[in-house]
């Protein structure tokens, strides 16, 4: 939205005060649950030019709120003081009016935009009702995708089809699809993306009994699997990727000898990325399933493969499943968990140390020390006030203060530190986001689904039964797995070459 809504309901004049060059307008603003006084200052630049400023730190949050306040202040300035010839402006807001009619028109437009935006919010509430009723049983990610698609569509309707908003028909949907096709910045939307948005719109239309004629909507054609080069990753490509992820982690560990303080956080991120790649390549898990894993979901003990497995509890289909783990991936997971257990606390200490030296720390002496320790700290500080201290003496005192502070910071962090249950975490010591991992793969020119696709296709090619593959992949039906058996263009070309008739 260009101008977001406001909770303001009414704006009235409280009082006006002035001196030779300035006029102060106090406004009483009635919001939903409170009344607030807002003071606006007018500074006379010339006989007829008035610049508007906040008389003190303003609380207006949106452009719409600022426009409303300035416009009402300008209106009361002209009415109460009888100012007729004027230019009232604000450079930051790019606001400029020269007649009372312009002021009144701006106020009217602001309230109209606000009322319209409330209509938009009410429609969003209906989207939530639709999701609760129609998307029950769908995964959290599927529901979010549908709601995001509807948000995009109704934002388009709000700005480009305001006359009929929120009602829509085949015509509005058709124009929206053409609108998506024309977008090239910041990136062009893929055919898959546009068709996926249409699927959400069609589902919502059916829910509201809005008939859509798909034949009249020019949806882009989704390429067939044969046209999707590189959907599956060859063994050589997977080995190369494994070396890239592994080497990045190993190099970070080797480089730590050159640092006064090793960057353990970076090492943990690189180790995490490598383990996620290996785990997805070995199990065919969805990226959403991987990021939701907890350490307790891993069963890594036992000599037999079936006794070592990952228990996937949060799935797209809402059906839990278990996938066996090989010795190689089991060892890697154990090493990663061991690294976490050894370094997670130290990483939090390092982060605070870097915050201290970069003046970004939010910790105060009162937070990390008790009263007795603070008294001792302050008594040491007073030594710095003595006259004729040598540079060496000052440095000794500062070193003592720094050592005491850092020791108490470490104790504070140790007291508050709680190991996270999640298997994969971010720099902020929270569960890693799906987007973070997708970005990691994107920089390697692959997608998370390619890893899943590669494993399932390999199992298909090696003759593993559909039922067993379904047990691994978590698809609702075995039929859904058949699409992975479609040969690549390279495989088709090799078969043709092998079976082409030989002529003299």
Per DSSP, the three-state class of 335 is helix
| Predicted local confidence at residue 162, as pLDDT | 83
Confidence of residue 34 (pLDDT cuts 50, 70, 90): confident
Residue 146 above 70 pLDDT?
A: yes
- DSSP secondary structure of 89-133: EETTTTEEE-SHHHHHHHHHHHHHHHHHHHHHHHHHHHHHHHHHH
Range in 60-64, 341-345, 391-395 with the lowest mean pLDDT: 60-64
CB atoms closer than 10 angstroms to residue 62: 15
- Give the CATH class of 135-222: mainly alpha
Per DSSP, the three-state class of 16 is strand
The whole-number average pLDDT for the span 418-425 is 95
| Predicted local confidence at residue 67, as pLDDT | 83
The single-letter DSSP state of residue 434 is H
What the block records as the tokens of 442 is: 């994107």
The single-letter DSSP state of residue 180 is H
| Predicted local confidence at residue 139, as pLDDT | 73
Beta strands at 95-97 and 298-299: parallel, antiparallel or unpaired: unpaired
Dihedral of CA 351/357/360/361: which sign? Answer: positive
Q: Are 50 and 86 in contact (CB under 8 A)?
A: yes
| Predicted local confidence at residue 229, as pLDDT | 42
What the block records as the tokens of 18 is: 């002035």
Q: Give exposure, 406-441, as e/b (b: 16+ Cβ within 10 Å).
A: eebbbebbeeeeeebebbbbbeebebbebeebeebb
What the block records as the tokens of 198 is: 């249409």
| Predicted local confidence at residue 476, as pLDDT | 81
Residues in Cβ contact with 414 at an 8 Å cutoff, skipping those fewer than 6 apart: 345
How confident is the model over 366-417, as pLDDT tens digits? 999 999 999 999 999 998 888 888 889 889 999 999 999 999 999 999 999 9
In terms of pTM, does the model score above 0.75?
A: no
CA dihedral 309, 313, 314, 318 (to 10 degrees): 120
Across all residues in the chain, what is the average pLDDT? 84
Q: What percent of the chain has pLDDT over 70?
A: 88
How confident is the model over 186-209, as pLDDT tens digits? 677 888 889 889 999 999 999 988
Confidence of residue 61 (pLDDT cuts 50, 70, 90): low
| Predicted local confidence at residue 227, as pLDDT | 44
The whole-angstrom separation of Cα 215 and Cα 235 is 42
Range in 6-10, 15-19, 159-163, 295-299 with the lowest mean pLDDT: 6-10
The whole-number average pLDDT for the span 155-174 is 89
| Predicted local confidence at residue 230, as pLDDT | 47
* CATH fold label, 233-347+430-491: hpI Integrase; Chain A (1.10.443)
| Predicted local confidence at residue 3, as pLDDT | 44
Confidence of residue 460 (pLDDT cuts 50, 70, 90): confident
Q: What percent of the chain has pLDDT over 90?
A: 37
H or E element that contains 10: strand 10-18
Residue 167 above 50 pLDDT?
A: yes
How confident is the model over 241-277, as pLDDT tens digits? 999 999 999 888 877 655 656 689 999 999 999 999 9
Range in 129-138, 209-218, 428-437 with the lowest mean pLDDT: 129-138
Confidence of residue 498 (pLDDT cuts 50, 70, 90): low
Confidence of residue 495 (pLDDT cuts 50, 70, 90): low
């Amino acid at each position: 939205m260009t101008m977001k809504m406001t909770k303001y309901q009414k704006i009235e004049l409280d009082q006006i005060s002035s001196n030779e060059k300035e006029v102060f307008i106090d406004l009483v603003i009635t919001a939903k649950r409170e009344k607030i006084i807002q003071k606006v200052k007018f500074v006379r630049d010339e006989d007829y030019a008035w610049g508007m400023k906040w008389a003190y730190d303003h609380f207006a949050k949106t452009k719409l709120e600022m426009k409303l306040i300035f416009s009402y202040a300008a209106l009361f300035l002209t009415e109460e003081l009888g100012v007729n010839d004027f230019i009232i402006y604000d450079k930051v807001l790019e606001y400029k009016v020269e007649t009372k009619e312009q002021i009144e028109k701006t106020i009217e437009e602001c309230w109209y935009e606000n009322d319209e935006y409330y209509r938009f919010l009410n429609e969003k509430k209906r989207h939530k009702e639709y999701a609760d009723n129609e998307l029950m049983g769908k995964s959290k990610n599927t529901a979010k995708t549908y709601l995001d698609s509807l948000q995009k569509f109704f934002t388009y309707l709000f700005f480009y089809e305001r006359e009929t908003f929120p009602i829509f028909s085949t015509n509005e949907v058709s124009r929206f699809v053409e609108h998506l096709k024309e977008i090239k910045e910041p990136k062009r939307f893929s055919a898959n993306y546009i068709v996926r948005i249409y699927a959400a719109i069609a589902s919502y239309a059916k829910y509201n009994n809005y008939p859509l004629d798909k034949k009249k909507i020019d949806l882009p054609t989704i390429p067939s699997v044969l046209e999707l080069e590189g959907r599956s990753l060859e063994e050589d490509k997977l080995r190369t990727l494994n070396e890239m992820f592994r080497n990045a982690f190993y190099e970070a560990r080797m480089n730590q000898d050159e640092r006064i303080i090793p960057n353990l956080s970076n090492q943990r991120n690189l180790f995490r990325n490598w383990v996620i790649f290996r785990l997805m390549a070995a199990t065919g898990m969805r990226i959403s399933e991987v990021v939701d894993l907890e350490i307790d979901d891993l069963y890594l003990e036992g000599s037999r493969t079936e006794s070592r497995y990952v228990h996937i509890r949060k799935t797209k289909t809402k059906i839990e499943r278990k996938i066996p783990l090989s010795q190689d991936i089991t060892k890697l997971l154990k090493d990663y968990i061991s690294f976490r257990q050894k370094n997670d606390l130290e990483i939090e200490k390092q982060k605070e140390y870097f915050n201290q030296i970069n003046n970004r720390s939010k910790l105060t002496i009162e937070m990390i020390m008790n009263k007795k320790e603070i008294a001792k700290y302050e008594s040491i500080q007073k030594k710095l006030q003595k006259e004729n201290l040598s540079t060496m003496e000052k440095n000794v005192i500062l070193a003592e203060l720094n050592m005491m502070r850092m020791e108490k910071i470490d104790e504070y962090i140790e007291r508050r530190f709680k190991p996270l249950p999640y298997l994969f975490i971010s720099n902020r010591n929270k569960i890693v986001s799906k987007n973070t991992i997708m970005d990691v793969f994107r920089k390697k020119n692959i997608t998370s689904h390619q890893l899943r696709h590669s494993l399932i296709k390999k199992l298909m090619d090696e003759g593993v039964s559909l039922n067993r593959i379904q047990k691994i992949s978590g698809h609702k039906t075995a039929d859904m797995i058949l699409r992975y058996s479609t040969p690549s263009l390279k495989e088709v070309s090799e078969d043709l070459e092998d079976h082409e008739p030989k002529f003299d």
